[in-house]
């Protein structure tokens, strides 16, 4: 298995609105991000996702996070999203995502959930919430997971601790509130994205 984009960092635009999504997508891409999700608990995501998809074009893999049902998978796919990110392990959601041709990055906490996700077709795994377990837990999981499975840390990842997760065996991370908070200026997104890319490349 291989991560599908050049930079294995997912930008999580939780809370973004349709009138601001394009500006933040452009800022992220300008700083090197090429994987972006709009969580489905964001306001009016049915408008934000196609706007993000159109703005990114072929420059980034765009889709949705916090996808909890097969029906939601279909909605995202119908809107042009190609990235499926979940906070949990639900085989039905994974299978539907794969059936719709989406790239599935699936949330898990335990080894049992990780292997269940892989059995259902997950193409990468995201440990969530990573900050509650830490790099030591990542290292222990990495010892039993197939070596070719892309593993990301999500939840509490900052430019200061990203390297610890990479050293422990993650290939990258999903970045939420330390990258983007609802209503922040586009220039702030530039700054935070730049800091994360620098941290990633310095490991």
Active site residues: 37, 126
Q: Residue 91: how many CA atoms within 13 Å on its side-chain side?
A: 7
Beta strands in the chain (DSSP E): 9-12, 35-39, 61-65, 83-85, 103-108, 124-127, 151-154, 172-175
How far apart (Å, rounded) are the C-alpha atoms in residues 162 and 25?
Answer: 22
How far apart (Å, rounded) are the C-alpha atoms in residues 89 and 76?
Answer: 18
Q: Is omega for the bond preceding 114 within 30 degrees of 0, making it cis?
A: no
């Amino acid at each position: 298995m291989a991560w599908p984009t050049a930079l294995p960092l997912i930008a999580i635009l939780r809370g973004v609105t349709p009138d601001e999504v394009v500006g933040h997508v452009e800022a992220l891409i300008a700083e090197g991000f090429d994987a972006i999700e709009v969580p489905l608990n964001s306001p009016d995501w049915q408008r934000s996702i196609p706007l993000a998809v159109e703005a990114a074009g072929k420059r980034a893999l765009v889709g949705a996070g916090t996808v909890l049902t097969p029906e939601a998978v279909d909605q995202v796919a119908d809107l042009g999203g190609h990235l499926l990110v979940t906070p949990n392990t639900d085989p039905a959601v994974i299978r539907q995502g794969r059936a719709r041709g989406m790239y599935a990055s699936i949330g898990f906490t335990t080894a049992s959930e990780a292997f269940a996700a892989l059995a259902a077709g997950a193409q990468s795994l995201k440990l969530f919430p990573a900050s509650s377990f830490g790099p030591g837990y990542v290292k222990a999981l990495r010892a039993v997971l197939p070596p070719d499975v892309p593993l990301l840390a999500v939840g509490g990842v900052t430019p200061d601790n990203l390297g610890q997760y990479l050293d422990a065996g993650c290939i990258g991370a999903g970045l939420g509130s330390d990258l983007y908070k609802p209503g922040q200026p586009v220039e702030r997104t530039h700054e935070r994205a730049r800091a994360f890319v620098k941290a990633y490349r310095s490991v």
